Structure 1
Amino acid sequence: MSRRTRIVAAVIMAPVAIAAVLWLPTSWLALLLASLLMMGLWEWAELAGLKDRTSRLAYLAGNAMLMAAVIWGAGHGLFTLKLLSVIGAAWWLFVLIWLASYQFASADTPLNRAIKLLAGSLCAIPAWAALCWLHAGTPHGAGWALFALAIAWAADTGAYFVGVRFGHVKLAPRISPGKTREGLIGGLACSLLLALVALPLLGLTWNLLPQMLVLTLVTALMSVVGDLFESLLKRHADAKDSSNLIPGHGGLLDRLDSLLAALPVFVVAKVWLGL
């Protein structure tokens, strides 16, 4: 697909996502995100080696039931959402080790398929819980939720355009040959600029700028880790994209991968930094 097709698709999707975060109540946003994640996990299951449709439907049903149980628990407080977010943030620290061990779980065996399916759940459910906690359980929740998403979008967009124009040194050639260190720097720079704009819009004073920049930098870096982890899964499966659902972008999972890591890390780091 051409660069123009990619841009047009992004221009169509972005306003819909922004409107949903800003104007939907948390319950409806949770349902919408859960639906998107189920579609993403459908693609994940196939990449993990689960080719049988019935087995993939069973995998989705198990994740959906877990989300439903979490929502029921959230009616008695936000503890479950917070716990899952912390588990998710810790999980992505383990993913860093997995990325350094390229061959881990690469062979198509029943055990490795099970490991990758568990990994999919550990990626999707904490990210969903983190957005729900952020949206419902914090002051200016919708604004903070949008900012968390925007960090990942800015990192991805900046990396793409800077990488296309200036990229030469590969970031992780075995995992994602198209990513460059120059693109990474461009993506981080775009995210940090976004933080400068978001600070007053979120009602924060300028003395909190250092914490805001740290939060943004950590979240942007982890969004790249999420992107790389899905790329690793695709390399193991010998697939270019998770599907061809979105013109110019590949599958839905290809658009959600960075958010899977960014959301739980963002909400945990936000609390830790006192924002």
Structure 2
Amino acid sequence: MLKQRVITALVLLAVLLPALAASTAWPFAVLTLVFIGAGGWEWARLNGLTGAGALALGGLVAAGGAWALVSGWAWQLDGVGSLWLFAVLTWVLGGALVLRGGGALWARWPQSLRWVIGVVVLWLAWGAMAVAKQRGLNFLLSVFCLVWAADVAAYFGGRAFGKRKLAPAISPGKSWEGVWTGQIGTLLLAFGWMAVDRHVALGSDSIYTVLERQLGVVGLVAGVLFLAAMSVVGDLFESLIKRQAGAKDSSALLPGHGGVLDRIDALLPVLPIALYLVSLNHG
């Protein structure tokens, strides 16, 4: 298993690094369309759609992104605050509703509605990812690393201090103590990254520097904590869907790692919400 994980990770890095290093956002946007389309296929299968239907749903997600690229609309999304506000409301209100109701509530919703939700959240995440890359590699990586830092700090904090279960019916391994240590980890990352931004020319500002400049230190702290919390919501949401479908992983597309959704679940809400936060200005 470890060998598979390492080989898969190396292959992914070999594919992603050239696109990340490209001076324009096009290569990364096109490459991630493939991954987001695969995520759409996984979403369809987890929600009762198989065969050609699942492929069609994945293709629809990718086609929506391709249209946005070809039309040039994808590069105008940065200033569409209403779109990112819609994403915030969808994840905050919808996420709270689904997680509170559990798998039983999700299963009662019409399959067609669940498919539409998948198309929307995946497309929004891809659009936000393309815009983040357009803002600069430093900005994009700072969002990615926020999610990874929250996850790593929560894992170790949960193992060391975890006592109170966060959502035992959905993800028994998660604890409230893990959530809090994850948030502390993201704050440490944020202030450390801003220090690097101030002393090293990285070509673009990180999300932390942008939030501090536009919302002040209090706004920065609140924004980082909010994003860390929403990363947990994304993780729990995918776990709920898998549990309701009786699946351990979203697929076996990434040997040793599960599926695409298993790797990007926490990013689904964080990417569009990050774009909304940086569209705000306190002054």
TM-score when scaled to structure 1? 0.84
Q: Over the residues paired in the alignment, what is the CA RMSD in angstroms? A: 3.0
Distance in 1 between the 2:15 and 2:157 partners? 26
Q: 1:259 aligns with which of 258, 267, 274?
A: 267
Establish whether residue 269 from structure 1 lines up as the match of residue 277 from structure 2: yes
* Structure 1 residue 189 displacement after superposition: 1.3
Establish whether residue 100 from structure 1 lines up as the match of residue 95 from structure 2: no
Distance in 2 between the 1:7 and 1:274 partners? 44
Distance in 2 between the 1:190 and 1:67 partners? 33
Distance in 2 between the 1:123 and 1:177 partners? 25
Distance in 2 between the 1:212 and 1:35 partners? 33
Distance in 2 between the 1:81 and 1:120 partners? 24
What stretches of structure 1 of length at least 5 have no aligned partner? none
The answer to whether the Cα contact below 8 Å between 1:130 and 1:263 also exists between their aligned partners in 2 is yes
* Structure 1 residue 79 displacement after superposition: 4.3
Percent sequence identity over matched residues? Answer: 33
Judged with a 3 Å threshold, the aligned counterparts in structure 2 of structure 1 residues 263 and 151 are, in CA distance, closer, same or farther, namely: same
Establish whether residue 212 from structure 1 lines up as the match of residue 220 from structure 2: yes
Paired amino acid for 1:233: I
Judged with a 3 Å threshold, the aligned counterparts in structure 2 of structure 1 residues 238 and 189 are, in CA distance, closer, same or farther, namely: same
The answer to whether the Cα contact below 8 Å between 2:60 and 2:119 also exists between their aligned partners in 1 is no
* Structure 1 residue 222 displacement after superposition: 0.7
Distance in 2 between the 1:176 and 1:229 partners? 10
Distance in 2 between the 1:247 and 1:146 partners? 24
Judged with a 3 Å threshold, the aligned counterparts in structure 2 of structure 1 residues 76 and 216 are, in CA distance, closer, same or farther, namely: closer
What pairs up with 1:1-275 in 2 under 5 angstroms?
20-23=19-22, 25-51=24-50, 53-75=51-73, 78-79=76-77, 82=80, 83-93=82-92, 94-102=94-102, 103-107=104-108, 112-136=110-134, 138=135, 141-200=136-195, 201=197, 202=205, 204=209, 208-273=216-281
Of the structure 1 ranges 242-251 and 54-63, higher mean CA displacement relative to structure 2 is found in 242-251
Judged with a 3 Å threshold, the aligned counterparts in structure 2 of structure 1 residues 198 and 272 are, in CA distance, closer, same or farther, namely: same
**For residues 50-81 of structure 1, what are the alpha-carbon distances to aligned partners after superposition, in whole Å with 9 as ceiling and x for unaligned?**
12x11111112222222122223435961487
Distance in 2 between the 1:8 and 1:159 partners? 26
Distance in 1 between the 2:76 and 2:98 partners? 30
Distance in 2 between the 1:155 and 1:178 partners? 15
Report runs of 4+ in structure 1 exceeding 6 Å deviation.
4-12
Of the structure 1 ranges 209-218 and 41-50, higher mean CA displacement relative to structure 2 is found in 209-218
The answer to whether the Cα contact below 8 Å between 1:70 and 1:81 also exists between their aligned partners in 2 is no
**For residues 130-175 of structure 1, what are the alpha-carbon distances to aligned partners after superposition, in whole Å with 9 as ceiling and x for unaligned?**
1222322x4xx22111111111111111112222333222101111
* Structure 1 residue 29 displacement after superposition: 1.0
* Structure 1 residue 199 displacement after superposition: 1.5
What stretches of structure 2 of length at least 5 have no aligned partner? 198-204
* Structure 1 residue 114 displacement after superposition: 1.2
The answer to whether the Cα contact below 8 Å between 1:9 and 1:248 also exists between their aligned partners in 2 is yes
